């Protein structure tokens, strides 16, 4: 962010604070219910165009700058518009090229001016203090022309990268769908069937582990009774928390030898599924610079763990031990646009706990490996079924009951291993391609930053000695603003109906 004296510009330019060249106006609220949705006037908020209307608050082009929400985001609106109250708007005075101002402000990371601790919000006073390098008017036009030439080529490259990323995501989903529906191993299954080699069915596998799970619970209960010197009461076995079974009537058919189970049935025991602590158990003041990790929504990528660090003290970690994760646990996002979204806890992350809105699922790896469970959870067929359960408008959410009931297509154990062999190789290739795409985005962003830096330090186009000096331009702006003192502000004008 430009501070006083920090803008490196040619000696022929002038550095001026934003307050000395433009007026920053507040947008005006316009609820969705009062908009004309078939109108031709864009309604603009901090994130950009959010709807249409048939009246304008601002006549002609303007810059819209996010005030709340996407604080500091800058949008160039080339027609009459209605900026709403989450944004500011600027109309450029004669002599200041609006595109020039847009490119400069969009290069300044205005969001860094946000001092709020809760809802992102940008102060108008802080915005007025931003320093702008003012080039001669003719040079502004030359800079804009060159920027549009260079950045259009760059934007075209970014568009190609985004298209490649979308295709890769589609291919990845097709792999997961084939894996969880049996198509990925159809030939392997047919060859196995022709060989006549016997194998344990997935139904037998599931029943065996459910029986063992109940036996472990009964053994723990008997140990507790013994430690307390009590005789087990009549009917104590009936208190066993039976895991939720799938409603197969609502599920598609599976390949021969497969069976439907639930995440609850696949859990290691009745305590295998939990979410993070709520309320006063984990507050902002509990976070520390180092210590055990807190697994948050930001850590749960689509099939991979993301490194976004937050810490708590050892003492707080011990207090929240029932929310702890271990290597190999599956963590599931319970809030977000795409649900469920899950990944496996890798080595080197623990000790850690899950935060609210994140579920920890500790599976029986002999029944289903965590990596296969993640493939099931992230596959489109599962997401479509879970989407019917999602609650919340704007912030979709699932609860622990939903997660427990998620249906899992369970292949025989040998076929699970085969699926993981084929899937891991294909997904590794996808990850490599995605890394190359992400590298392309990084290089494009760096190149864009360098181009903008060159533009506003006078290195993008040559200076012409006969251009009118910007000091004269600024004097005209001051005179023009002084002559309009006392006139109605743009915000106070009656909205104009457009044809």
- Note the pLDDT tens digit of each residue in 175-191: 999 999 999 999 999 99
Average pLDDT over residues 117-140: 89
Q: What is the mean pLDDT of residues 287-313?
A: 94
pLDDT given at position 168: 97
Least confident interval from 111-120, 198-207, 308-317, 381-390: 111-120
pLDDT at 3: 46
Report whether pLDDT(460) > 90.
Answer: yes
pLDDT for res 117: 54
Angstrom CA distances, 129 to 24, 442, 477, stand at 11, 30, 17
Weakest mean pLDDT among 50-64, 255-269, 463-477 = 463-477
Mean residue pLDDT of the chain comes to 92
Q: How confident is the model at residue 491 (pLDDT cuts 50, 70, 90)?
A: very low
Domains 14-135+468-497 and 200-229+239-411 alike in fold: yes
Neighbours of 369 (CB within 10 A): 19
Lowest mean pLDDT among 81-85, 117-121, 144-148, 336-340: 117-121
Contacts of 219 (CB under 8 A, 6+ apart): none
Between 268 and 388, the higher pLDDT residue: 268
Which among 369, 375, 410, 372 has a CA at the least distance from the CA of 205? 410
CB burial string 166-194: b at 16+ within 10 A, e below:
eebeeebbebbbbbbbbebbeeebeebee
**For the domain 200-229+239-411, what is the CATH code?**
3.90.220.20
| Band (124; pLDDT cuts 50, 70, 90) | very high
**Cβ neighbours of residue 235 closer than 8 Å, sequence gap 6 or more:** none
What span, in angstroms and rounded, lies between the C-alpha atoms of 423 and 426? 5
pLDDT tops 50 at residue 196? yes
pLDDT at residue 278, as a whole number: 87
Which CATH code fits 14-135+468-497? 3.90.220.20
The reported pLDDT for the residue numbered 44 is: 97
Specify which of 87-96, 193-202, 263-272 reaches the highest per-range mean pLDDT. Answer: 263-272
For 95-115, b/e burial (b = at least 16 CB within 10 A) is bbbbbbbbbbbbbbebeebbe
The pLDDT score that the predictor gives to residue 486 is 53
pLDDT of residue 93: 85
Residue 382 has pLDDT above 70, yes or no: yes
Q: Domain spans of the chain?
A: 14-135+468-497, 200-229+239-411
pLDDT at 489 over 70: no
Tokens in use for 101?
Answer: 């101002």
Express each pLDDT in 225-238 by its tens digit: 999 999 999 999 99
Q: Which of 389-398, 453-462, 483-492 has the highest mean pLDDT?
A: 453-462
CA dist., res. 24 & res. 37, Å (int) = 27
Percent of the chain clearing pLDDT 70 (strictly above): 94
The predicted structure's pLDDT at residue 477:
87
- DSSP-derived secondary structure letter, 2: -
- Whole-model pTM: value is 0.79
Tens of pLDDT along 129-177?
Answer: 999 999 999 999 999 999 999 999 999 999 999 999 999 999 999 999 9
């Amino acid at each position: 962010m430009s501070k006083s004296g920090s803008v490196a510009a040619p000696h022929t330019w002038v550095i001026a604070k934003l307050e000395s060249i433009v007026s920053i106006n507040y947008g005006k609220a316009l609820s969705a219910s009062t908009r004309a949705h078939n109108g031709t006037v864009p309604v603009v908020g901090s994130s950009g165009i959010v709807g249409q209307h048939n009246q304008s608050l601002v006549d002609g082009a303007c810059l819209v700058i996010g005030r709340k929400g996407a604080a500091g985001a800058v949008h160039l609106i080339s027609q009459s518009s209605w900026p709403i109250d989450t944004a500011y708007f600027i109309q450029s005075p004669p002599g200041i090229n609006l595109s020039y101002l847009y490119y400069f402000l969009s290069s300044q990371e205005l969001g860094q001016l946000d001092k709020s601790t809760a809802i992102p919000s940008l102060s108008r006073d802080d915005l007025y203090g931003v320093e702008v390098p003012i080039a001669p008017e003719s040079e502004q036009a030359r800079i804009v022309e060159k920027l549009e030439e260079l950045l259009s080529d760059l934007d075209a490259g970014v568009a190609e990268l985004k298209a490649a990323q979308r295709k890769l995501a589609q291919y990845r989903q097709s792999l997961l769908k084939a894996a969880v529906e049996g198509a990925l191993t159809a030939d392997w299954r047919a060859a196995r069937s022709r060989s006549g080699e016997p194998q344990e069915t997935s139904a037998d596998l599931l029943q065996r582990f459910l029986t063992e799970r109940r036996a472990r619970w009964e053994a723990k209960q008997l140990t507790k009774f013994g430690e307390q010197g009590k005789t087990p009461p009549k009917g104590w076995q009936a208190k066993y928390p039976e895991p939720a079974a799938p409603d197969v009537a609502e599920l598609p058919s599976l390949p021969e030898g497969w069976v439907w189970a639930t995440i609850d049935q696949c859990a290691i025991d009745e305590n295998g599924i939990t979410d993070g602590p709520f309320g006063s158990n984990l507050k902002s003041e509990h976070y520390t610079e180092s210590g055990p990790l807190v697994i948050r929504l930001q850590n749960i990528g689509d099939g991979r763990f993301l490194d976004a660090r937050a810490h708590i003290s050892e003492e707080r970690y011990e207090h929240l031990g029932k929310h702890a994760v271990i290597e190999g646990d599956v963590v599931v996002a319970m809030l977000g646009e795409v649900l469920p979204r899950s990944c496996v806890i890798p080595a080197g992350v623990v000790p850690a706990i899950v935060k609210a809105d994140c579920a920890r699922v500790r599976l029986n790896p002999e029944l289903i490996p965590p990596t296969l469970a993640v493939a099931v959870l992230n596959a489109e067929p599962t997401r479509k079924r879970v989407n019917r359960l999602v609650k919340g408008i704007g912030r979709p959410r699932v609860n622990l009951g939903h997660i427990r009931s998620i249906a899992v297509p369970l292949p025989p154990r040998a076929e699970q291993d085969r699926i993981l062999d084929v899937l891991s190789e294909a997904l590794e290739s996808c990850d490599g391609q995605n890394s190359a795409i992400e590298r392309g985005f990084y290089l494009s962003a760096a190149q864009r930053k360098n181009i903008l830096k060159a533009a506003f330090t006078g290195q993008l186009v040559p200076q012409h000695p006969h251009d009118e000096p910007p000091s004269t331009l600024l004097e005209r702006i001051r005179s023009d603003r002084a002559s309009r003192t006392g006139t109605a502000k743009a915000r106070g004008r009656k909205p104009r109906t457009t044809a």
